[in-house]
A and B are shown apart, each in its own frame.
Chain A
Amino acid sequence: MSPHGNPEEPAGSATDINRDAQKVPAGPDTTANTTADTSGGAAPNTPAAPSAPAAPAASAPPQHHDRSAWGLWEVFVRSSRGLSHVHAGSLHAPDAAMALRNARDLYTRRNEGVSIWVVPADAIAASDPDAKGSFFESPQGKDYRHATYYTKSEGVKHL
């Protein structure tokens, strides 16, 4: 499981957002957190990766470091219609067709999914965690992107 690019649960980053949000004076309360969480769908906190794997079948097999070793694939599972694919984990397979089948057996034995994506692990580009400060700083404090910023219109119907 190497889902740092696409956490299946909002692990550390969600708590970070929470804390950071609280540090902003007069900032948005938890609603800001909710908005931030949903906007990204499968990978709310790391915009780098998840749109890439849209065409998994065509992807090239990962490199093998010896003759019999199978490449590493990342697996994304849609748990039911209407929801995003979410990173479930990884596995080894010789090619995309087998990766899909292995993913079916490994990650959906208990009805976890109705759709699966597999992506060669080395096809995923991930943002640099060290750059977190600058890469993800900009949205901090831009309260005006959120409805809660507009207090004067509060109470007006259908707005």
Chain B
Amino acid sequence: MAAQNLQSVPVELSPEEEAAGKATFDRIIAEDSRIEPKDWMPPAYRKTLLRQISQHAHSEIIGMQPEANWITRAPSLKRKAILMAKVQDEAGHGLYLYSAAETLGQTRDEMMDALIAGKARYSSIFNYPALTWADMGAIGWLVDGAAICNQVPLCRASYGPYGRAMVRICKEESFHQRQGFEILLELSNGTPAQKQMAQDAVNRWYAPALMMFGPPDDDSPNSRQSMAWNIKRFSNDELRSRFVGMMVEQVRVLGLTLPDDQVRFNEDTKKWEHGPLDWHEFQEVLAGRGPCNAQRLERRREAHDDGAWVREAAAAYAAKQQAKQSMTTKEYAA
């Protein structure tokens, strides 16, 4: 098995070792320090991380598609370059995250197989279609904005490899939200038709973006455990509320409106509130009944299957070269 030395692999331990491992784990969490791959960890902690990190990775990879679809149609060469660099970053972020997940003992191939078999989840927002150019703006501003809200606290996640991946991702992603905002700003300051396009995109992506933070706290039993483990730092509702507050400010600069007349700052709780969200729709999309689920998975499956012969060729070539090399070495020794 590759990289056993670097990976976290569950092994049989004596009760004493198990107890010592748990004590160390608890101490590290209590001290708000970091768990590293070879540390003992509770099976549920490992499972939670694997699920969360791989879902996060899948989201980056599937999330490339709605934007990649617009690379060839970007309306200016500058925008084309920006969009290409952004989608490329998303591939990179997927890779950073798969690597982090791999330290927990699952290979990327296993994760990829689960994804294309439809057995793994990814952020449901990428099952919505990107219909106009303004969607590139709304995705950058709202979707990446929400993602960054989620991700910045994850830079301090208790699992070291995850936190380090998030640091890298957040650094790179700082341009993603800005470019989205600027796309919308240009459109909003453009012709009436352009402004309408921008407002329409904001209207369509607003609610799905808010739902990216996950179900309401009352409905999210796993959240509490994740917070106890210092994986999550803030609850879903808390992050969502903060995000709404930021959007309220920014949408004014854009000269657009949020499609939610119930947004308000609650003076008592000191939190931003928003109108009701359609959690039924969220569950439906998550369960595979969204507008683009089949299309997104098919595209990934196709790329993976069409690429199989290339990956095989490179692996075969490497094996041949290695065989050749060891032959030469033997000849030399003889």
Among the listed stretches A32-40, A55-63, A141-149, which one makes contact with chain B, having 4 or more residues with CB under 8 Å of it? A55-63
Say whether A129 contacts B164, CB under 8 Å. Answer: no
Q: Are B31 and A19 in contact (CB under 8 A)?
A: yes
Please determine whether B167 and A9 come into contact, CB atoms closer than 8 angstroms.
yes
Measured as residues with beta carbon below 8 angstroms from the partner, the interface class of chain B is 35 or more
* Chain A hits for B222, CB < 8 A: none
Contact A94 B102 (CB under 8 A): no
**Interchain CA distance A61-B317 in the complex, whole Å:** 11
Say whether, besides A71-B2, A122-B2, A2 and B99 are in contact (CB < 8 Å): yes
Instruction: Report chain B residues within 8 Å CB of A98.
Output: 314
Smallest CB separation, B13 vs chain A (Å): 9
Whether B109 pairs with A61 at a CB distance below 8 angstroms is no
Contact bitstring A127-157, B, C-beta under 8 A = 1, else 0: 0111000000000000000000000000000
Q: Decide: A4 near B163, CB < 8 A? Known: A95-B317, A126-B38.
A: no
Enumerate chain A residues within 8 angstroms of B322, measured Cβ to Cβ.
60-61, 95
Select from chain B the residue with minimum beta-carbon distance to A121. Answer: B3
Q: Which of B102, B103, B107, B164 has the most CB of A within 10 A?
A: B164
List residues of A (111-134) whose CB comes within 8 Å of B's CBs: 120-122, 124-126, 128-130
B315 lies within 8 A of chain A by Cβ: yes
B89 contacts which chain A residues (CB < 8 A)? 109
Interface residue ranges of B64-104 to A (CB < 8 Å): 88-89, 92, 95-96, 99-100, 102-103
How many residues of A sit at the interface, in one of the four size bands? 35 or more
B108, A92: Cβ atoms under 8 Å? yes
In the bound complex, what is the Cα–Cα distance between A70 and B2 (angstroms)?
10
- Beta-carbon contact of A68 and B96 below 8 Å: no
Report the minimal beta-carbon distance from B320 to chain A, rounded to whole angstroms: 10
Question: Which residues of chain B are near A60, meaning CB under 8 Å?
Answer: 322
Interface centre among A70, A120, A124 (most CB of B within 10 A): A70
Chain A residue nearest to B7 in the complex (CB): A2
Inter-subunit contact A122/B5 (CB<8 Å): yes
A90 with B315: CB separation less than 8 A: no
With a cutoff of 8 Å between Cβ atoms, the chain A residues found around residue B31 in the complex are: 15, 19
Compute how far the CA of A147 lies from the CA of B316 in the bound complex, rounded to whole angstroms: 56
**Cα–Cα, bound, A1→B5 (Å):** 13
Task: Please encode chain B, from 164 to 193, with 1 for each CB lying within 8 Å of some chain A CB and 0 for all others.
Answer: 110110001000000000000000000000
Residues on B close to A: CB < 8 A? 1-7, 17, 20-21, 24, 28, 31, 33-40, 88-89, 92, 95-96, 99-100, 102-103, 107-109, 160-161, 163-165, 167-168, 172, 308, 311-312, 314-319, 321-322
21 pairs, CB–CB < 8 Å, chain A vs chain B: A1-B164, A2-B100, A7-B36, A11-B36, A11-B163, A11-B164, A12-B160, A63-B2, A66-B109, A68-B308, A72-B2, A72-B3, A94-B318, A95-B314, A95-B321, A98-B314, A106-B95, A122-B1, A129-B38, A129-B39, A130-B21
Closest 7 CB pairs of A and B: A121-B3, A94-B314, A4-B36, A12-B34, A2-B103, A68-B311, A12-B33
